[in-house]
Amino acid sequence: MTPNDDPRRFLLDLFRAAVASGDPERCLPRYLPSKPLGEAVVVGAGKAAAGMAKAIEASWDGPIRGLVVCPHGCSIPTRQVEVVEASHPVPDEAGTRAAQRMLSSVRGLSENDLVLALISGGGSALLTLPAPALKLQDKQAATQKLLKSGATIAEINCVRKHLSAIKGGRLAAAAWPAWVYALAISDVPGDDPSVIASGPTVVDPTTSADALAVIERYGIAISEATRQWLSDAASETPKAGDVRLSRSTFQFVSRPVDALHAAAEKARAVGVHAVILGDSIEGEAREVGRVMAGIALSAASSKIPVEPPCVLLSGGETTVTVRGTGTGGRNREFALSLAIALAGRYDISAIACDTDGIDGAPDAAGAIVLPDTIARARQKGLDPHLVLVDNDAGGLFGRLGDQVVTGPTGTNLNDFRAIYIPGSSR
């Protein structure tokens, strides 16, 4: 069977290959450090935290203890490292308690001890410990508004770091003088360690003034306590030269570009040219969808940038400014915008999914676009343009049976997009 015979299956195979590249048991063990003279303590947070903890247990030669926190529904059985579930993307009390316990577990260690910090996407919401002057409700309110504002993940995490007692390098500072070795699965455009899970083990290049500027830029209403804290010098995060972070090391174990290369290899194995357009693409999802449609049409009609049969691969993290009554979902919004712009031409198909299995809401990872997507939507009485305005792409793809439902995947390598252009049109 060729991709032309079943483009849906082909696209799903590419997505599965991308997700598999970030499986902790597959990518983490080769990066483990040497055993310390003292004890090894595991801490961590993110959508891959439980899988990373299990991979550590399977490969670490010696005793370990520790605690990691993951989103509800992402826990898996472990033997030595405790796994706690908490809320994502809006923080909750469970995350607060887990973060406090992590700080307590790394305080008082010696220079002979080692902290293994397991970092993955989602850690910003899960490491929830508010700064001393703030309450959890202050962080919850700010987070909810930022998530709907259209702010980039770097901007959102800039604010999160300065409202936190554990992010922005503060976890590593608390562990001093122990060695801190962070193992990270990246989910952010550009793979910036200070942005992934809001950088709990690395110095922070952003400032409290930057956080206030983000809040002003997007018109975010915050509590008076939050504003006062961000105006206080005590809200500043550890910066370059801070001795408390001088024994902290950061190591990527998997990145979004690895997922794209895995998908490209899968496509080439069945005779389809693969082009990686980029792993750090940002912007409003609907705008990116229109741009990607233009590139796909160029490939189909002019063989630029590649001759069909081909697949255009990209990653990154788009945003959705929610103005309608729908729930957003950046991958599904991208997919609907793409479908509208393609209008069924050249038999082009596509997939857009979040590799963590959750596209803004737990009901789906994303969606598949087929040449007849728009026609089928209209047959069901749906106006795709109005649905897009209402930020309800999930509702449309749900009606069509074209949502991709995986449940939590146990990893997070950001968004995955693949557009398939067949060798010839019908």
Contacts (Cβ under 8 Å, ≥6 apart) of 416: 14, 15, 18, 19, 259, 260, 263, 313, 315, 351, 352, 353, 354, 355, 366
Give me 147's structure tokens.
Answer: 């998530």
Residue 106: inside a domain:
yes
265 and 154 in one domain? no
Q: What is the pLDDT of residues 266-315, one digit of tens each?
A: 999 999 999 999 999 999 999 999 999 999 999 999 999 999 999 999 99
57 and 42 in one domain? yes
327 and 248 in one domain? no
Q: Identify the domain boundary among 194, 226, 254.
A: 254
pLDDT surpasses 80 at 327? no
Q: Residue 225 maps to which CATH number?
A: 3.40.50.10180
pLDDT surpasses 50 at 348? yes
Number of folded domains that form the chain? 2
Distance CA(270)–CA(263), nearest Å, equals 11
406-422 in b/e form (b: 16+ CB < 10 A) is bebbbbbbbbbbbbbbb
Q: What is the pLDDT of residues 55-67, one digit of tens each?
A: 999 999 999 999 9
Could you tell me the CA-to-CA distances from 364 to 78, 327, 368, 383, 404 in Å, in that order? 27, 12, 11, 21, 6
Q: Which residue has the tokens 């936190």?
A: 164
Residue 125: inside a domain:
yes
Mean per-residue pLDDT of the chain:
95
Give me 275's structure tokens.
Answer: 């082009």
274 and 178 in one domain? no
Question: Which pLDDT belongs to residue 326?
Answer: 85
Please, are residues 228 and 133 in contact by the beta-carbon 8 Å criterion? yes
H or E segment and range at residue 354: strand 349-354
Q: What is the pLDDT of residues 83-125, one digit of tens each?
A: 999 999 899 999 999 999 999 999 999 999 999 999 999 999 9
Residue 25: inside a domain:
no
Residue 173: inside a domain:
yes
Name the CA dihedral angle for 74, 80, 84, 89, rounded to a multiple of 10 degrees. Answer: -50
Q: What is the pLDDT of residues 400-422, one digit of tens each?
A: 999 999 999 999 999 999 999 99
What one-character-per-residue DSSP string does 230-254 give? HTSGGGPPP-TT-GGGTTEEEEEEE
Could you tell me the pLDDT band of residue 180, with boundaries at 50, 70 and 90?
very high
Question: Which pLDDT belongs to residue 363?
Answer: 85
Please, are residues 380 and 400 in contact by the beta-carbon 8 Å criterion? yes
Residue 2: inside a domain:
no
Number of Cβ within a 10 Å radius of residue 221: 9
250 and 348 in one domain? no
Distance CA(72)–CA(23), nearest Å, equals 19
Give me 144's structure tokens.
Answer: 């909810």
pLDDT surpasses 60 at 425? no
pLDDT, mean of residues 202-216 = 97
Could you tell me the pLDDT band of residue 1, with boundaries at 50, 70 and 90?
low
Distance CA(193)–CA(197), nearest Å, equals 8
202 and 278 in one domain? no
pLDDT, mean of residues 157-182 = 98
Distance CA(328)–CA(332), nearest Å, equals 8
Q: Is 97 helix (H, G, I), strand (E, B) or coil?
A: helix
148 and 40 in one domain? yes
Residue 26: inside a domain:
no
Q: Which residue has the tokens 């060798």?
A: 423
Residue 324: inside a domain:
yes
Q: Is 111 helix (H, G, I), strand (E, B) or coil?
A: coil
Number of Cβ within a 10 Å radius of residue 223: 15
285 and 417 in one domain? yes
Contacts (Cβ under 8 Å, ≥6 apart) of 248: 172, 175, 179, 180, 181, 182, 201, 202
Give me 387's structure tokens.
Answer: 């649905």
Question: Which pLDDT belongs to residue 19?
Answer: 98
Q: Identify the domain boundary among 238, 254, 270.
A: 254
> For the chain, how big is the Rg over CA atoms in Å?
22
94 exposed, middle or buried (CB, 10 Å; 0-12, 13-18, 19+)?
A: middle
Give me 87's structure tokens.
Answer: 């809320």
Q: Which amino acid is at 302?
A: S
371 and 226 in one domain? no
282 and 244 in one domain? no
Number of Cβ within a 10 Å radius of residue 321: 14
Q: Is 343 helix (H, G, I), strand (E, B) or coil?
A: coil
56 and 11 in one domain? no
Could you tell me the pLDDT band of residue 424, with boundaries at 50, 70 and 90?
low
Q: Identify the domain boundary among 254, 286, 317.
A: 254
Could you tell me the pLDDT band of residue 136, with boundaries at 50, 70 and 90?
very high
Question: Which pLDDT belongs to residue 224?
Answer: 95
Q: Residue 355's domain spans which residues? A: 7-19+257-421
Q: Residue 262 maps to which CATH number?
A: 3.40.1480.10
Please, are residues 211 and 159 in contact by the beta-carbon 8 Å criterion? yes
Torsion region of 20: left, alpha or beta (phi above 0 gives left; psi -120 to 50 gives alpha): alpha
pLDDT surpasses 50 at 426? no
Q: Is 162 helix (H, G, I), strand (E, B) or coil?
A: helix
409 and 286 in one domain? yes
Q: What is the pLDDT of residues 22-32, one digit of tens each?
A: 999 999 999 99
Residue 27: inside a domain:
no
